[in-house]
Amino acid sequence: MSRCYCALLRKATRRVTSLYDDALQPIGINLAQFSLLRHIERDEPISMTELGRKIELERSTVSRNVKVLEGMGLVETGSGKDQREAVVELTENGRRILEDGAPLWQGAQDRIEARLGTDAAAQLKELLQTL
Amino acid sequence: MSRCYCALLRKATRRVTSLYDDALQPIGINLAQFSLLRHIERDEPISMTELGRKIELERSTVSRNVKVLEGMGLVETGSGKDQREAVVELTENGRRILEDGAPLWQGAQDRIEARLGTDAAAQLKELLQTL
DNA sequence: TTGAGTTGCGTGTATATACACACATTATGT
DNA sequence: ACATAATGTGTGTATATACACGCAACTCAA
């Protein structure tokens, strides 16, 4: 039986996630959280459902992950004009964490590019976006 | 800020995992479980630690995931000659599930190759293995 | 032979992920 | 105006993942 694309993806993702999580360790959040903060910053204030749609993550997962960030004081939630909606935005602390984390994240990006080479890294991006 | 390799990997992994899980739905297990059964079949009987080492998964994760498979009657565990060791092997049912799942899994592999093209699929494999 | 060090494992804790479900609010059709 | 349908959210449940820890069994050096 040939190699499983999905198993290879999952293994690679575990490895790379670990690399980014380690890089972000000094600011006390992991890559999933950092990434979520970045998306919130880009479109704030934004609703849970809209956030989930943008990043292709189940709404209940978004809700749960945002709650963790709220517990850390990095975001706050309130109501939209549509009372059903919970909207999220960054706190001052959240903004600071993003700023502090940017060079650490870039270091991880650089490490990936060093490992693959620039061309292969660009290729990987394209392939992942095709999947 | 450029696209995050890790975020792209995670998103692609969610998508592809969903595709394989759907494909395996008829046999009632997901890709992670199917993959674990395949690795057990390859080297059974095998210890938890050895299994974790082979698939680069934290030992406690392996322990937990094997327990779920045991609950489903797909594997059984016993002691090695080293009493510290728990060794795992497939049950008759587990073997059957693997056999029934093989064409379904192949169907998912084919779909990925159809989506990417054969060359690009080979390239993805190589890139993922470099990471 | 014995004590220290190492190894294998399972549990506690926590985050990440997804599906099902229920409830409240909004939208729509008649 | 009202009933139905759709939408947004959070909770329950479950699996997946990883780190820390404690315990039992094994190894090794003195």
Task: Give the residue among A55, A31, A33, A57 at the shortest CA–CA distance from A43.
Answer: A55
Which residues from 16-35 of A have any strand D atom under 7 Å from their CB?
Answer: 18
Domains with residue ranges and CATH for chain B? 45-105 (1.10.10.10)
| Cβ distance of A123 and B127 shorter than 8 Å | yes
Q: Looking at CA atoms only, how far is residue A31 from chain B in angstroms?
A: 8
pLDDT in tens, B86-131: 999 999 999 999 999 999 999 999 999 999 999 999 999 999 999 9
Output the pLDDT for position B122.
96
What pLDDT, on a 0 to 100 scale, did the predictor assign at position A47? 96
Confidence of residue A34 (pLDDT cuts 50, 70, 90): very high
Helix (H/G/I), strand (E/B), else coil: A76: strand
Q: Integer distance in angstroms from CA A68 to C1' D16?
A: 18
Q: What is the ipTM of this complex?
A: 0.93
C-alpha separations of A43 from A53, A89, A130, B73, B88 in Å: 13, 9, 25, 48, 49
Closest listed residue to residue B37, CA positions, set B98, B86, B96:
B98
